[in-house]
Amino acid sequence: MSALWSLLRRDLLLALRRPSEVLTVVFFFVVVAALFPLAVGPERATLRMLAPGVLWVGALLASLLALNRLFEADHHDGTLEQMLLSGTPLTLLVVAKIAAHWVLCGLPLVLLAPLLGVLFDLSGDALGVLALSLLIGTPVLSCIGAIGAALTLGLRGGGVLLALLVLPLFVPVLVFGAGAVEALAAGLGSGAHLSILMALLLLSGLFSPWACAQALRIALE
Amino acid sequence: MLPHTGLETRDLACERGGKTLFEGLNLSVSPGQSLHLQGDNGSGKTSLLRLLCGLAVPLVGQVLWAGQPTTQAREDFLRDMLYLGHALALKEGLSALENLQFAAALSGQPWVPDAAVQALHQMGLRGREHLPLQILSQGQKRRVALARLGLSPARLWLLDEPFVALDSAACGVLQGLMQTHVARGGMVVFTSHQAVNLASGDNRSHRLGRA
Amino acid sequence: MRRIAWTHYAAPQTFYGLAGVCWKPLALLALALALAGMWVGFMVAPADAQQGEGYRIIFVHVPVSWMSMIIYLAMAFWGVVCLVFRARMAGMLSQALAPTGALFAFLSLWTGALWGKPMWGAWWVWDARLTSELILFFLYIGFIALTSAIQDPRRADRAGALVAIVGAVNVPIIYFSVKWWNTLHQGASVSLTRSPSMAQTMLWGMLLMALACWVYTVAIVLYRTRSLILQRERHADWVAQLPELNPGLRP
């Protein structure tokens, strides 16, 4: 367990000393969200209707950007090999990597989304549900994306390949995440959507670290 | 305590890019022995080390540690083995001490800051323990990586080109470390293009590829 | 006895021989079945009361949709065999299956659109089934892209195996989520799956076409696997001595 905490602390410390990576992800999210009103016009009713989908897709793409580099630096400088050879179960170490990735790249999106939702004229309730759906959904994106990041480790064209592999698997999260906010707007209540998101989180939290560890072993063989 | 049989390979084969690098390889390294792997570039030295430490799984043959295949008694083997590859396995954004601390936590070793500082001083890095690694030179970074040797309780050392980028003083320190390790009953398997003369222990060498 | 036969054909050399013998008769059988199926579908089965003659495209659409899903499951199965038993043939079979699966998924999308246009007036309605088929098509493309991007064949096999397994586990989840999304967003749900009550002949026609697709898949996979074997084992002695590669020599 202490290896897990040590790895998590190490990644957070490294990101703190070199914050450019995290900041680029955050700014990407803002830029994407700002592009849509420019594309569809400033009419408030339209923006309110589009907001959940736009913000969710923006968060999804921003997460994808950061996923590429999840294992890349460690692979490049040899620390990933040491993790495989350390005697600590690789699944635990992967949990630490995914957790660090979410804290650095997922959590800022969760905190920023309500602010961007205001730009789209979402109501207070909707902003709350949006933040909650992202809070539950972004860890799922990190978990699923980690498998793709491990499989495409070291490959040329890795970023696009990662997106191709992982975006179809993101569809359920997107459907239920954006759907939660839309259901609220339609007066149906977001409870069902959020419960299903929780279920997806539990499933991916249990299955992904193991699958990701296998993918890392395959990539390093 | 039963005598430890050390590291053995049985009928080990390796192929890369469709070509067989070596096959039917039977090596053995017992406590108190060192093995110097030699061979031209591309003869499979790094591949062999990766097979020995378990990063690569052999299609043919086995690697045994204390009589057990390493694929089975994996955790025991990993805790008793230290592998230093071409890449230094150091984070440039951390200092030398922070890197050693992380390495210790990863392998489940207790962290003793004084011992770590001593190890760094022994490698000639006095005054550089807290500096971020990216401002050190290549040779100094390699010394930080090698400082792990002084701290690790592992009995088997697998070192891939450990002498690269080291000046003669550091080479001397490294040789000294290897000598003490072997004298205490440890095992070292290393690759190097230069001639290495360890003063203690039973030192063998093996040449891969066409002689 | 069965177990011995399995491992015997798990070696590329013996599989090569077996596949060589089997694929041509299977291809002919597939052609015969397809002709029979199309005859039943286009000639014998009656025109539908509501949909007229245009509905006949389901004789292609439904079988290829079934096959696209079955092939993905087969890829996941061989993926498990590849990862658990480290069998080289399993990896090759997965890679041989993928292009055919992708083709069937693509055909399913096109035939779905061709059916939809005269029926519902639009080339594409975001029907739950068609949308899931689209995502399945992306999963196939992802598999093919990943396995082609990796140089080392062993790593490619194992990475592809993991992708196939993860994809197969996710397909029910994706289907469920798309179904949910579809029913929530569409008031009057138009469903391409709500087929008219089937006359006996229609069912026969579809079964024949499905069987034709299956046999075709087996034939083409055997053929493709032979090429993969030649590619992978090109340094082996038995390959160098094959009659196909030594045209001048007496067998």
pLDDT score recorded for residue C220: 92
pLDDT score recorded for residue C78: 95
HSE-CB of C115 using CA atoms within 13 angstroms: 23
Residue B1, pLDDT > 80, answer: no
Higher pLDDT, C9 or B75: B75
Its sign, for the CA torsion C234, C237, C242, C248, is positive
Of B57, B78, B102, the CB nearest to A6: B102
pLDDT score recorded for residue C1: 43
Residue C184, pLDDT > 50, answer: yes
pLDDT score recorded for residue C7: 67
Share of chain A above pLDDT 90, in %: 72
**Are C40 and C204 a contacting pair, CB within 8 Å?**
yes
pLDDT score recorded for residue B210: 58
- CB contact under 8 Å between A211 and C166, yes or no, is yes
Instruction: Name the β-bridge partners of A151.
Output: none
Higher pLDDT, C187 or A150: A150
- CB contact under 8 Å between A168 and C155, yes or no, is no
Residue C247, pLDDT > 80, answer: no
Residue C186, pLDDT > 70, answer: no
How far apart CA A11 and CA A97 sit, in angstroms, is 8
A74-78, B96-100, B167-171: least confident range: B167-171
pLDDT score recorded for residue B156: 92
Q: What is the pLDDT of residues B38-47, one digit of tens each?
A: 888 888 888 8
How far apart CA A51 and CA B40 sit, in angstroms, is 62
pLDDT band (50, 70, 90) for residue C176 = confident
Mean pLDDT calculated for residue range C92-110: 94
C237 touches chain B (CB under 8 A): no
- CB contact under 8 Å between B102 and A81, yes or no, is no
Mean pLDDT calculated for residue range A103-120: 93
pLDDT score recorded for residue C188: 40
- Closest chain B CA to residue A17: B93
pLDDT score recorded for residue C51: 64
Residue A133, pLDDT > 60, answer: yes
Query: Count of CB atoms within 10 A of residue C229's CB?
Result: 21
Triad C161, C167, C170: Cα angle to 5°: 145
pLDDT score recorded for residue A143: 96
pLDDT band (50, 70, 90) for residue A152 = very high
pLDDT score recorded for residue A130: 94
How far apart CA A170 and CA A95 sit, in angstroms, is 19
SS3 B37: strand
Most A CBs within 10 Å: which of C132, C181, C183, as the mutation test of the A interface?
C181
pLDDT band (50, 70, 90) for residue C203 = confident
Q: The pTM is what?
A: 0.88
pLDDT score recorded for residue C2: 47
How far apart CA B204 and CA B43 sit, in angstroms, is 18
Mean pLDDT of chain C: 83
Instruction: Name the β-bridge partners of B157.
Output: B82, B188
Q: What is the pLDDT of residues A21-65, one digit of tens each?
A: 889 889 999 999 999 888 988 888 888 889 999 999 999 999 998
Q: What is the pLDDT of residues C30-62, one digit of tens each?
A: 888 888 888 887 777 666 666 666 677 888 888
Give the pairing of strands B19-25 and B12-16. antiparallel
Residues 60-89 of C with CB under 8 A from A: 83
Q: Is B164 left (phi over 0), alpha (psi -120 to 50) or beta?
A: beta
Token pair in block for residue A1: 């367990």
pLDDT score recorded for residue C113: 86
- Closest chain C CA to residue B58: C86
Which residues lie below 8 Å from residue B49, measured CB to CB, with a gap of 6+?
A: B37, B83, B85, B158, B160, B189, B191
- Closest chain B CA to residue A10: B102
pLDDT score recorded for residue C38: 83
Q: Which domains does chain B have, with CATH numbers?
A: 1-80+156-161+187-211 (3.40.50.300)
Token pair in block for residue B89: 């396995």
Q: Which helix (H) or strand (E) covers residue B101, if one does?
A: helix B96-106
Mean pLDDT calculated for residue range A87-104: 94
B55 touches chain A (CB under 8 A): yes
Token pair in block for residue C146: 């990943």
pLDDT band (50, 70, 90) for residue C114 = confident
Measured distance between the N- and C-terminal CA atoms of chain C, rounded to whole angstroms: 31
Contact list in C for residue A165 (CB cut-off 8 A) is 142, 145-146, 163
Q: What is the pLDDT of residues C225-235, one digit of tens each?
A: 999 988 888 87
Instruction: Name the β-bridge partners of B202.
Output: B33
C-alpha dist (Å) from residue C232 to A148, C80, C98: 26, 21, 18
Most C CBs within 10 Å: which of A144, A218, A220, as the mutation test of the C interface?
A218
Q: Is the ipTM of this complex over 0.85?
A: yes
- Closest chain B CA to residue C151: B17
Work out the minimum CA distance from B75 to partner chain C, whole angstroms. Answer: 20
Mean pLDDT calculated for residue range B176-198: 87
Residue C190, pLDDT > 90, answer: no
C155 touches chain B (CB under 8 A): no
pLDDT band (50, 70, 90) for residue C189 = very low
DSSP string, A31-43: HHHHHHHHHH-S-
pLDDT band (50, 70, 90) for residue C119 = confident
Q: What is the pLDDT of residues C131-150, one digit of tens each?
A: 899 999 999 999 999 999 99
What value does the CA radius of gyration of chain C take, rounded to a whole number of Å? Answer: 21
Work out the minimum CA distance from B188 to partner chain A, whole angstroms. Answer: 17
pLDDT band (50, 70, 90) for residue A189 = confident
Give the pairing of strands B62-65 and B7-10. antiparallel
- The burial of A204, by beta-carbon neighbours within 10 Å (0-12 exposed, 13-18 middle, 19 or more buried), is given as buried
**DSSP 8-state class, residue B95:** B
Query: Count of CB atoms within 10 A of residue C191's CB?
Result: 13
How far is residue C82 CA from its own chain's centroid?
19
- Give CB contacts under 8 A, 24+ apart, made by C200-207: C201/C40, C201/C44, C201/C45, C201/C46, C202/C41, C202/C45, C202/C59, C204/C40, C205/C37, C205/C40, C205/C41, C205/C44, C205/C45, C205/C59, C206/C37, C206/C41, C206/C58, C206/C59, C206/C62, C206/C63, C207/C37
Greatest distance between any 2 Cα atoms in chain B: 50
Per-range mean pLDDT, top range of A131-145, A183-197, B23-37, B116-130: A131-145
**Are C52 and C119 a contacting pair, CB within 8 Å?**
no
Most C CBs within 10 Å: which of A153, A175, A181, as the mutation test of the C interface?
A175
How far apart CA C134 and CA A175 sit, in angstroms, is 15
